[in-house]
Amino acid sequence: MKYVLFVATDPAGEPTDENPQAWVERWNDRGVRVEGMPLKPAAETKTVRVRGDQVLVTDGPFAETTEWIAGYDLIEAADFDEAVEAAASHPMATGGRIEIRPVEPLDLGPDMGNAPHEGDAPASRFLGIIRADPSAPPCPPESAAVAEWVRDGLASGRYLGGEHLRPVEDATLVRRRGGELLLTGGAYTDVPEGVSGIVFIDGDWQQAINYLSRCPMARSGIAELREFWRDFS
């Protein structure tokens, strides 16, 4: 079973001297961790919404929250217990918080899978974070429209894969405080705009924004564009 681990900050986190690289190597060696990367600060986010014929692009994340996603890891665990074990052993379970989200594959047709990612050096420059927006007009995306968007992105080199997630009600929050493991249901932050999927997008900022604005989910949700923390020089 695949899970996305959202590595998030937490003002109530505790200091830790645990080595993140040791965690990476441990779970790589066990064949559980597939890939992962840190993200640049939330302040550098671009938020994209499409409402009617208008494309609305704003600087910054969808909302000012004290907890924000600092990175992600994709794991393939034998079961949920192993996913919890991996998340609980992450240094940010102490210094921040980890949200475990089960992946729910979408069948978009043949040759529509993810481009191979190079572990800790994803082929794309950006991570698109797709969120729900309860205040937006309902506009459920059709699978055919999503498949067309993916197909166009593959042809242009903008789209390099993605993961559709099971509902936020299936999320599990993992924290370690005072040496005690805390497991609660729910996302890394308590907002109605929960994450429903992630997408890997390549190109420069404008190309990525243009492509993300054509995402069917941007019409009824919120799309955040975050740059991976890596050297592109």
Dist CA 233 CA 228 (whole Å): 13
Q: What is the pLDDT of residue 80?
A: 97
Task: Report the DSSP pairing between strands 2-8 and 97-102.
Answer: antiparallel
**Residue among 4, 58, 37 nearest 127 (CA):** 37
Phi, psi for residue 80 in degrees, rounded to 5 = -65, -35
Q: What is the pLDDT of residue 142?
A: 83
Domain spans of the chain? 2-227
Contacts of 79-87 with C-beta under 8 Å, sequence gap 24+, read 79/1, 80/1, 80/172, 82/32, 83/1, 83/3, 83/5, 84/172, 84/174, 84/183, 86/5, 86/27, 86/32, 86/33, 87/5, 87/172, 87/174
For 153, the token pair is 């992105």
Q: Which SS3 state, helix, strand or coil, does residue 181 take?
A: strand
Q: What is the pLDDT of residue 124?
A: 82
**N-term to C-term CA, the chain:** 36
Residue 31: Cβ within 10 Å count: 10
Tell which wins on pLDDT, 231 or 167.
167
Contacts of 85 (CB under 8 A, 6+ apart): none
pLDDT of 188 strictly over 70:
yes
Dist CA 94 CA 223 (whole Å): 29
Handedness of CA 105, 108, 113, 119 (dihedral sign): negative
Tell which wins on pLDDT, 4 or 106.
4
Predicted TM-score (pTM) of the model is 0.92
Alpha helical stretches, state H, the chain = 20-29, 80-88, 92-95, 143-156, 205-213
Query: Residue range 40-52: average pLDDT?
Result: 94
Q: How confident is the model at residue 153 (pLDDT cuts 50, 70, 90)?
A: very high
pLDDT in tens, 104-149: 987 766 665 555 455 565 668 999 999 999 988 787 778 889 989 9
What homologous superfamily is domain 2-227 in, according to CATH?
A: Dimeric alpha+beta barrel (3.30.70.1060)
For 10, the token pair is 């937490």
- The residue length of the chain stands at 233
For 64, the token pair is 């000012």
Q: How confident is the model at residue 46 (pLDDT cuts 50, 70, 90)?
A: very high
